[in-house]
Amino acid sequence: MADSYPRAVVAAADGRIFEHPTLAMLAWDGDCWRQPQPEELIQLPKGSDLFVMPGRTPYAVDVDNDEPVEVEGDAETGVLQTVAAFIAPAYLKLLHPAYDTQEGAPDLTLYSYAAVGWLNGHFVVPAVRVDADKRQDPYRFDIVEVESGVRRLRAEHPLNRAIEHVEHCALVYHCRAAQNFFLGRWEAPMPAASQCNAACVGCISDQSGSTFVANHERMKIPSRAEDLIELACLHLERVPNGVVSFGQGCEGEPLMQPKVLEETILGIRARTSAGVVNLNSNASLPRIVARLADAGLDSIRISLNSAQPELYRAYYKPRGYDFSHVLQSAKEMSQRGKYVSLNYFVFAGVSDSPREIEALCQFIEEGGVNLIQLRNLNIDPELYLKVLGEGAVEEPIGVLAMVHTLRRRLPQLRFGYFNPPKTKFGRPGPLPGAELAMELDA
């Protein structure tokens, strides 16, 4: 007999995860607790992870009274813990877990925390697939094959420091882009810079002064142009429709190495016209961006937590630049006929607020943005809202409604999750949700 509603999922004191026999799943939209709508729920994607949120008391719905209640443990389970999902790449989280933070609870480490339920024999999460590309599906990576690729390229390029660094990322951090380089497919990284001109609250390579450690250790020595050229050409010459990208989670801001980037781009294009040379960046230095575009940079992916300058500053804490420079960099690229993407960090309650949607549409139109990559913001939800301050959440309409609003207002805007190859430049692409599911099934 099918369940009539998704059950709450919690964890015992010892970490055992189980569904509650009577209480219903409850989630948080950034403004208030509510039950997920049926169209917001999908089966937990393959390759996702479940974990507990320390110091967070789980809440669920008493279906008899239709009221939120604390999920209490017993002698067997002990004090219960809130469970969250870290959803596999290419999926966008729609709702946070519903919980109450206990006094003295630690800040959460840098992951994205999605609500979890149990329905008809499966874990379910409020999420939607936003990119049909399979390049980072976790189950498509065989570590034995990665290690084989590492050994081969280490032997062929023993003095290349950039390849040596990417090897560390592939084997230690299990970076999918780094692993794809050694597997000879899709997009490869070109980490270049050891410094940054922002102090992002959610930076995954520098958390000095924070209460938790960064996910990665930032590279300490900037890469040499000759090493990056060799890495890039090796990838582009053997991978059809390949992409190589400056700006990785293990480094600072690539624009802090302007001469190296310009020399690298010129060197790549002197050897091959294949593929895409891309820059993942905070886009803080528009004059440098213009020089790189003139040198042959094909595309830029601009990281953005918000299109509202005050919310942007609160999160990025820019040093020596401001929000207007970010927009100008987009214009420099689009005016030169280059491809412009946004690496847009979605957070339910902020991203789907009407004021944010309006500001985002204006940025996309003024900056000539071709693609919005809908990414989950990896951060403690309460920490993020505290950093942004009062007024960041204002009558959110829901993340799915936000996406539909963007499509209605900006019909040529492409939606996705990854940097596209040239074959997909200029294509609007499917809308996340049902239309994308049809493409995945095809």
Residue 441 has pLDDT above 60, yes or no: no
Architecture per CATH, domain 138-441, reads as Alpha-Beta Barrel (3.20)
Count CB atoms within 10 A of the CB of residue 417: 23
Contact 67, 98 (CB under 8 A): no
DSSP string, 353-388: SHHHHHHHHHHHHHHT--EEEEEE--S-HHHHHHHH
Residue 436 has pLDDT above 60, yes or no: no
Long-range contacts of 436-439, Cβ-Cβ distance < 8 Å, separation of 24 or more: 436/128, 436/129, 436/130, 436/131, 436/132, 437/129, 439/132
pLDDT digits (tens, 9 = 90+) for 269-301: 999 999 999 999 999 999 999 999 999 999 999
**Which range has the worst mean pLDDT, 58-72, 184-198, 381-395, 415-429?**
415-429
pLDDT digits (tens, 9 = 90+) for 15-73: 999 999 999 999 999 999 999 999 999 999 999 999 999 999 999 999 999 999 999 98
| 105 conformational bin, left if phi > 0, alpha if psi -120 to 50, beta if neither | beta
Residue 434 has pLDDT above 60, yes or no: no
Contact 225, 264 (CB under 8 A): yes
Identify residue 146 by its one-letter amino acid code: V
- Average pLDDT on 205-210 reads 59
Half-sphere exposure of residue 43, counting CA atoms within 13 Å on the CB side? Answer: 6
* Structure-token pair, residue 61: 């719905």
Contact 46, 33 (CB under 8 A): no
For the chain, what's the residue count? 442
Count CB atoms within 10 A of the CB of residue 409: 14
CA R_g for the chain: 22
Name residue, tokens 């999918």: 176
Q: What pLDDT, on the 0 to 100 scale, is given for residue 286?
A: 98
Provide the percentage of residues in the chain whose pLDDT is more than 90.
Answer: 79
d(CA 342, CA 372): 5
Residues of the chain with CATH 3.20.20.70: 138-441
Q: What pLDDT, on the 0 to 100 scale, is given for residue 210?
A: 59
- Please name which of 195, 200, 210, 197 lies closest in space to residue 316, comparing C-alpha atoms: 200
- Please name which of 330, 239, 250, 240 lies closest in space to residue 284, comparing C-alpha atoms: 330
d(CA 360, CA 94): 18
Residue 431 has pLDDT above 80, yes or no: no
d(CA 336, CA 296): 10
- Please name which of 311, 439, 419 lies closest in space to residue 363, comparing C-alpha atoms: 311
